[in-house]
Every structure is written in structure tokens, then in C-alpha cells.
Amino acid sequence: MIYRFLRRFPISGGSKIFLAFLGCLFFLEGAFAFTPLFVLPQWSPQSQFAGIYVAYEKGFYLRHLLDVTILRGGPDADPWEYLRKGKADLVTQFLTSALEARDKGLPVVLLGQVVQKSSLMVVGRKDRGIESPEDLSGRPLSLWESSFRLGFDLLFEKRNLVPRIYPQYYSVNLFIRGVVDACVAMYYNEYHMLYQAGFNFDELSGFLLENYGFGFPEDGVYSTESFYRENPEACQAFVEATLEGWIYAREHPEEALDIVMKYVNRAHVPTNRGHMRWMLEKILPCILPASGDAWIPGVLSREEYRKTGEALMEGKLMGTFPLYEDFVPFKEYQNVP
């Protein structure tokens, strides 16, 4: 176990054995305690999780005395399921989804709000006459199931739009093949996939939920309340190390891409470096604030939290939502605006 662990250090074999020996000594003494953490990103490896992979590969977690194991995410790995069954200690997921899960009885707490801005959008084909959200009424539109829908449902409801809904799974192929005139997309993901499928940007119309007031904070790091209570330092350390990973990725994008592509290749994810570059470029400003932004990286603002909770109630997805203090356990965050 220790040897496996030390393999991650970029040092020679002989030195590894020596270090392993030293490590054993420390362990015996109990003076060198790494906290093991099993972490599940909510989706297959891609730049959306670059901070985690970079922190892992660059040894940031080890520096924080964390022995992280990154589990392979994907459509068949539901983060809440993993938490409930104890298959993962920490997971990433959208804020809306986390509030829903908590509402359904899974006591999850937010350890860090990584992605602060929404990238959800509706993409329409201009050649099918989709120029504004109003044009969506009565038109075939593919839409994700699950909590991703919330913002879109609210948009359609607020604007009295009634598109013909088709289910959208992992691909936007219904859109590409012309079955639907519009689809939902992440700005950093599917929107660019359409470009890589031959659509020029000027042939597409895009409506970001953020611009219509229905954008909610997205990826956050979650654990169960009990896990947090037992490992508060480790939880906080994980979030800090992950943000360090993101900062490193911003400074060294090509190296970060190398790392992401390593995970992509290992998981046989059918994507390419160009797409991962786009994703990294577009998601970074949602994680690390630019000079004019007021928010703090990793910290969920009370305002955003309240907005999201109220939206969920309005969407009749839940009757009430927890107090910020209950949902966000870190003492340091209690004074945030």
C-alpha cells in the first residue's frame, strides 16, 4: 500500500524502495498519517475535473497528507449512490442536485463550491429558425433528464415556452442528425462538440441560462455529514489542494491538458485534446475569479445559495431548503456574504 502510494512520486525505483522503508517506519510510529480519500467526479474524465487530476498528479494531495484515490466517474456511477453506499468519501455534483439529494434524505454537506457560474445553455439551429428562446415553442428540443433540467424548466415556464421535448442522453446526436431543432448543452462541452461536428458557431444560436437569470452554481465537492464530522481537516485540505490544482492548470494549461488526456485515454473516453482545451479554457473563468469578480474561489455565496434554493422551491422540486450553516459546515465560511 505504501509502495503503491509512493509510486506517484516522480523519483527513481531505488529511491522509492528506500522511501517506502522510511514510510513504514513513520507509519509504525504513527507520526506520518495520510488520510485515505476515495473521490468520485460526477462524470467521465475530462477537463471539467482538471483541478482534481492536476492536484493528484502534481502531488498536491500528498502534500496535504491526503491519500486520494480518484474513482472513475461516468453515466453508470451516480455520486449520491456512491456516497450512500460508502463507495466514495467525496463526490462532485451540481448544487441543485445536492439540494435535491439532501431533500430526499441524504445528509450531504458542501465542502467547496468549485464551479461558481453556470455553463448551461440552449443551442438552436438558425437554419431551422431558432433565433431566440421564443422560437423554441412547439419545436423539437432534446433535454437532459434529472436535476440538470431545473434551469431550463424554469426558463420555459417563465417565458411560456412549450417545446416538444425529446430525451437527451450522452450525445447531441439527435440534434446533429436533425431530429431536433434545439438541444441543451454545456457551453464548455456540447456547444463545442457541435462545432467539432461541423456546425459553425454562426450557424448556431445559444442562450446561456446565466444570462436569463436561471444559472446556478454547478460543480461542488460533497461528503456526508458524518464523514465530514470525522475528517474535517482532510475535507478542507482536499478542497484547498483541488483549488491549487486549478490554479496550476490555469498557469500551465498544456501540462494540465497532458494530464487530462492521460485520464481520458485510460478511460477510453471518446474525446480529443482540442475539445479538452476548449473545455479547460471555458471552465477556468467559472472557477477562478477574474480581477473584477467579487466571489472567492471555492466559497459558495449565501446569495447564490438562497437564489438556487428558492428556484428549486419554485420548481416544486422541494418544499424547503436547509440553512446555509447546515449545508456548508466550514466555520470559516459562516461569515461570507
Partner 1 sequence: MYRKMSLAWRMSLLLLLGAGCILGAVAGFNYVSSRKLLERELRDEARQTSRSIACQVESVAKALEQTAKAAAYGIRRFAPGTEGIFGLLEESLRNNPEVFGMAAALEHPSWYGVTGVPYVQRQEETVLFKDLMKEGEAFRVSDWYSLPKYAEHSLWTDPYFDDLGGQALMTTYSVPIFSGEAEHKSFQGVVTADMSLEWFSAILEDISLDEGGYAFILAKNGRFISHREENWILRETIFSIAEEYGLPELRELGRRMIRGEEGFIFMKASVMGAEGWVSYVPIPAVGWSLGVLFPQKALVASVSALTRSQGSIGIIGFALLLGVILLVTRSITRPLVQLEHATRKLAEGELEAPLPHLLGDDEVARLGQSFEVMRQQLLVQIDILCATSAAKERIESELHIAQSIQMSLIPKTFPPFPEHEEFDLYALLEPAREVGGDFYDFFMADEEHICLIVGDVSGKGVPAALFMAVTRTFTKILTKNSLDPGDILFKLNNELAQDNESCMFVTIFCAIVHLPSGKCRYASGGHNPPFYIPREGMMTMLPQVKGSLAGAMEDIEFEEGAFTFRPGDTLFLYTDGVTEAMNNEQELFGEERTALALSKLKGRKALELIRELRKVLGDFAEGAEQSDDITMMAFTYGVDRKE
Q: Does 267 bind partner 1 (CB under 8 A)?
A: no
Among 146, 196, 211, 226, binds partner 1 (CB under 8 A): 196
Q: Check the CA dihedral 185-191-193-199 and report its sign.
A: positive
Q: Does 317 bind partner 1 (CB under 8 A)?
A: no
Smaller CB separation from partner 1, 188 or 214: 188
Q: Does 177 bind partner 1 (CB under 8 A)?
A: yes
Q: Does 202 bind partner 1 (CB under 8 A)?
A: no
Which among 22-30, 97-105, 177-185, 219-227 is the span making contact with partner 1, rule CB under 8 A?
177-185
Q: Does 268 bind partner 1 (CB under 8 A)?
A: yes
Element (H, E) at 61: helix 60-63
Q: Does 197 bind partner 1 (CB under 8 A)?
A: yes
Binding mask 73-112 for partner 1 (x = CB under 8 A): --xx------------------------------------
Report, in Å, the least distance between residue 274 CB and partner 1: 4
Size of the chain in residues: 337
How far is residue 209 from each of residues 31, 116, 185, measured CA to CA in Å? Answer: 50, 13, 10
Chain positions 211 to 230 lying near partner 1, rule: CB under 8 A, are: none
For residues 92 and 79, the answer to whether their CB atoms sit within 8 Å is yes
Cite the beta strand spans of the chain per DSSP E. 35-40, 66-70, 90-94, 108-113, 120-125, 140-144, 164-168, 182-186, 204-208, 219-224
Smaller CB separation from partner 1, 279 or 311: 279
Q: Does 198 bind partner 1 (CB under 8 A)?
A: yes
Report, in Å, the least distance between residue 310 CB and partner 1: 31
CA distance 43 to 47: 11
C-alpha cell at 260: 487530462
Binding mask 37-56 for partner 1 (x = CB under 8 A): --------------------
Q: Check the CA dihedral 197-198-200-206 and report its sign.
A: negative
Smaller CB separation from partner 1, 144 or 333: 144
CA distance 123 to 125: 7
Among 195, 206, 225, 296, binds partner 1 (CB under 8 A): 195
CA distance 182 to 143: 9
**Which residue's entry shows cell 523519483?**
11
Smaller CB separation from partner 1, 18 or 169: 169
Q: Does 319 bind partner 1 (CB under 8 A)?
A: no
Which among 35-43, 59-67, 101-109, 164-172 is the span making contact with partner 1, rule CB under 8 A?
164-172
**Is 206 strand, coil or helix?**
strand
59: left (phi over 0), alpha (psi -120 to 50) or beta: left
The contact set with partner 1 (CB under 8 A) reads 75-76, 166-167, 169-171, 173-174, 176-177, 179-180, 195-198, 200, 268, 270-275
